[in-house]
Structure 1
């Protein structure tokens, strides 16, 4: 690409369901008070990045738009492809609850019945990345979305298969910075940037 522009990925702040480990795809749940504080604290992190002419796209879910607002971002547009994994029949359930009837289940291996497969999510992420690379010709790109979606995006930006994302954990209201070296090799340059004391955070 030969660009100095960066791609910044932000996961939304804490919700009641993310704190308790309930799979939250299409349910449009709001941030908790803690999540709002996490998102507002992200503003100082973004200031330190000195974003250049940023294009800011958000998931259609309110929790993502609210995070962007509290972090001081001006949203350019809403991208449906940034929605979280559609968990189908497993929406609102924890992994432990799912495994009572589906032992050994993981979304990375089995996807979600009535929802999306990993290939479905990877296809959406690849479309987001294609659009982002075009927009990076004019400046930095900021994406505000979700946990599982961000884990797949991390894998795909780095040229890895989507299931590499199972090795990545993304904290609520944290930022990851992606870019390219001089040989156009995609790189993860900074990860897990938060404005709150993440070492003491007990949620997911």
Structure 2
């Protein structure tokens, strides 16, 4: 690549992600499929970025993210709560279908999360993290290993969109998304590239 890029790697499959249960604070391991996905994500990363070791690799402290980084062949410089998943509060462990039994039409993007983070709080956390990594991007690629909803917020905020615009981006387990810029304008270089 001609420019340094910000790469987002979502963790591989867990038991809850496979069944659509909201998984924020709960520290679940990868399934066997998730482990294979993480290995494959490492191959995808290597194919996409042959320009050497990233200057910085940050990971969520959840075991599913750390294990994905390990299996993908990435050395994590720091595990940080800045990369934690959206805090689902009272909805932790529930599916959207279950939540809609009491809150019709509920989505993480459009409704409140009792006991959890608001879209504004998640947006502020994403902005702080992006400010931090922009400095490191001057020296090389940066990799962030994290979660589905928070990665979608990072994409939206990278583009200068509201956090809730994350609804428009898909980020599947063990996928790689690459963010960059063209002449100072932020752009998505690759979105939701599946593990190969």
TM-score range (shorter-chain normalised) is over 0.9
Structure 1 unaligned spans of 5+:
197-204
In the alignment, the residues of structure 2 paired with residue 71 and residue 177 of structure 1 have an alpha-carbon distance, to the nearest angstrom, of 16
In the alignment, the residues of structure 2 paired with residue 88 and residue 154 of structure 1 have an alpha-carbon distance, to the nearest angstrom, of 23
In the alignment, the residues of structure 2 paired with residue 177 and residue 104 of structure 1 have an alpha-carbon distance, to the nearest angstrom, of 31
- How many residues align? The count is 193
In the alignment, the residues of structure 1 paired with residue 5 and residue 118 of structure 2 have an alpha-carbon distance, to the nearest angstrom, of 29
Name the structure 1 match of 2:86: 85
* Structure 1 runs of 4+ with >4 Å offset: none
TM-score norm. by structure 2 comes to 0.95
Structure 1 residues 113, 51: closer, same or farther in 2, change over 3 A?
A: farther
Deviation at 1:52, TM superposition (A): 4.1
Name the structure 1 match of 2:178: 177
TM-score norm. by structure 1 comes to 0.92
Name the structure 2 match of 1:59: 60
In the alignment, the residues of structure 1 paired with residue 112 and residue 7 of structure 2 have an alpha-carbon distance, to the nearest angstrom, of 26
Deviation at 1:94, TM superposition (A): 0.2
Name the structure 2 match of 1:202: none
CA contact (8 A) 1:53 1:138 kept: no
In the alignment, the residues of structure 1 paired with residue 128 and residue 141 of structure 2 have an alpha-carbon distance, to the nearest angstrom, of 17
CA contact (8 A) 1:23 1:94 kept: yes
CA contact (8 A) 1:132 1:141 kept: yes
SS of the residue aligned with 2:100? helix
Aligned pairs for 1:130-145 (under 5 A) are: 130-145=131-146
SS of the residue aligned with 2:66? helix
2:122 matched to 1:121? yes
In the alignment, the residues of structure 2 paired with residue 151 and residue 125 of structure 1 have an alpha-carbon distance, to the nearest angstrom, of 10
Name the structure 2 match of 1:193: 193
Deviation at 1:51, TM superposition (A): 4.4
Greater Cα offset, 47-56 or 104-113:
47-56
SS of the residue aligned with 1:100? coil
Structure 2 unaligned spans of 5+:
none
1:51-72 Cα distance to aligned partner (Å, 9 max, x none): 4441100001110000000000
RMSD of aligned residue pairs (Cα, Å): 1.2
In the alignment, the residues of structure 2 paired with residue 159 and residue 176 of structure 1 have an alpha-carbon distance, to the nearest angstrom, of 17
2:60 matched to 1:46? no
CA contact (8 A) 1:88 1:115 kept: yes
2:167 matched to 1:166? yes
Name the structure 2 match of 1:146: 147
In the alignment, the residues of structure 1 paired with residue 102 and residue 71 of structure 2 have an alpha-carbon distance, to the nearest angstrom, of 40
